[in-house]
Structure 1
Amino acid sequence: MTDPRFPDSSSAAITGEEAHVAHNYHPLPVVVAEGDGSWVTDVEGKRYLDLLSAYSALNFGHRHPTLVAAVTEQLGRITLTSRAFHNDRLGAFAEALAELAGKDMVLPMNTGAEAVETGIKVARAWAYRVKGVAEGRAKIIVASGNFHGRTTTIVGFSDDPQARDGFGPFAPGFEIVPYGDAAALAAAIDDDTAAVLLEPIQGEAGVVIPPEGYLRAVRDACTAANVLFIADEIQSGLGRVGTTFACEREGVVPDLYLLGKALGGGILPVSAVVGDREVLGVIHPGEHGSTFGGNPLAAAVGLAVVDLLATGDLQRRALALGDHLRSRLETLVGAGVTAIRVAGLWAGVDIDPARGTGREVAEKLLAQGVLVKDTHGQTIRMAPPLVIRATEIDWAVAQLRLALTD
């Protein structure tokens, strides 16, 4: 049945997209037209429980009323000024975000990849201007299995052939060490090391959680060697794992937070680098910028996001519901699932190859009204909105059980 509000059927909409949009994604065959909370509706009126949340960009669900109201109000005033002028929303947003992170300053950008690129520039400038590294020699240590974006600089230090192969030559100045191996990381630090750039939990890799104590050891190694610790919290931050930032799980504070995705409330691309004045203060006028970065519309939704998180209610909810999700997923281990990894409302579920690939299971779940995404062949990721109900989690896991036995 075709929804009369949408003249194209699902198949027609997919055909049009395939014909005119570059094939840099391989989407599941569903055409989403509406969203509300944890649910979306396709063009033919079928509803789906969204367990992807746009890779954590929709931590607060689809069309959260507080966020929609903030954007709607701002749309009636002004949307863009560029940073050539001040605007009346950026200061309040930056102050609130800095306070949430326990830092001094914010450098606003748009996408997560832009935040990572900005963090790299800041780290190099700090190395030359503060640490005293010789010009052109600054090194940044990254981890195997990393995913920090898809710009040419970033894929140059990826070890994923699909992200990297065919896009060189790449920028020098990066060294890859095994993720979760604090001793290897400490051994790689030398006098030219500007920073260590890590995901506290690796999302694209399949929600890979490092060993207990790893982040503390990284923090200690960076402090001892006068090296910046940069935490890419673009997917893991802003409530996803039951704390405001994933680093809090080990009581660790990095020198720079890289934030994005949920910072825009699932409405706009909003990202930021957040740090103290001694680090972010190395950037001077004209050295870095963005026409849209810090625009008043983005600042309005970003401020509303920070206000939602300031009470801690959503973080506590994610922690409690994450325990609930873990308990339900554990019943599937040995019954079509080989392993699970859960941090708050974020889960990586490894599918037994005898039951199919991650993509095949995701397609079965799609037919049953549940949206997830596969990664690295045998893994599906779950990142439901923080507003999801326990009963909805129960239903989703029941659908996964059916998909594994079908």
Structure 2
Amino acid sequence: MNNYLDLNEFIPEKILVGKNNNEVILNKHIGEEYLDLSYLVSQYNEAQREHSLSLPRKIILNNELFEALGLLQAEMGKTQNGCLVFANSEFKLMNKVILWFSKNFEFSSDRWRWYIKLNMQEPLDEKYKKEVEEKVINHWLRQTKISYEMRHPKTVSYIKNIPHIKLKDNYYGSLIIEYKCNLFSQIIKNYVKLMFYSLINYGNESVKSFMKGIIAGEGCVENNKQYKRYRIYITAAKQEERNLFQKYLNFLNIPSKQYCDDLLIISQRENLIKLLNQRLMALSPKKYAKFFYMMQQYPKIKEETCYFKEKGKNVWNKISEEKIKKIIELYNSGSTRTLDIAKEVGISQIKVQRVLKENNLGKRIIKTNDEKRKEIAAFYKSHNLTQKEVAKIFKVHESVVVRAILKYKNKS
């Protein structure tokens, strides 16, 4: 798999404009790093208005890309209305999408307009309404990087004709982010659509990551203990979507059934175990916790799956030995920028930093062992030098000298 996708391959030849969705030609200037795109719209008195946009050509090709595409396919508005919209009730999933746009399109998080939708009636008591709105607004501002200044005038919206009149303790509604730009909106929607259709071309891991996003966005866990009915639902209103989801699940060797007009169902113990082992439920923390609990209802599931071990035994984010060697090799070859190494290896920057730290590499002070600390303390005691001078002699940070002196000051 290449490290990047060329966005130029996904740019449409024409753009839809106006209420009637008239087609106009999209002009492209293709540079090495950026695509300069523009189109003209006719106005009154034979005047024309130009709409333009500059986008990076390279999109990072990794699992995060396909997880984000799955979430967008599940939760993004698909109509060509000139506005890019994404909604979700889990801040970790929202952050994943916001970060993906930031990394790949240089689209900062403070450019999103936003509001919050609550699944409850609008409170009649103004004092309680204020408490509710402050609670949910503060939650989303604290957990994401959206800008307070970019909120909608009506920041919190409610739903009529439902029985809920109180806000649940751990419920903060769904955050809806949007960006109004006809050109950007159509390019992203076209890109997601084309990737959705050609997903299998990118291999097993890419299909798996994409379906993680789909399940996180459109999946639902049914844990019915009374009737021992354990199932996963995936909602998809269009037949074409259901067919493709089913195709990709079959590609991962997970059978499913289409039910009614909008559901795809994964049931039976052996199929749910495949979901578990391939970690397809793991992207959404809430759904994964519910699914994890549901799977424990099966007798002898621990022996069958080697799952449900003691805390700390299942370390899923452990970096493979192959990737650790690659990171060290890249660092020793002169590529010391952790962000560049992360892109090359296909993992997060913080994981690269952890590997370098564990191997005493990177811009860090090497951990000082106890023997050396004793030596530092003894040297300081027998010489009339400042702590800073001793630190330079031993090539350590001054704080190491201070701690060594304090630790061994009363010891010979």
Give the TM-score normalised by the residue count of structure 2.
0.24
Q: Which has the larger radius of gyration?
A: 2
Structure with the higher helix share, 1 or 2: 2
Question: Which has the higher relative contact order, 1 or 2, with Cα contacts under 8 A spaced 6 or more apart?
Answer: 1
Give the TM-score normalised by the residue count of structure 1.
0.24
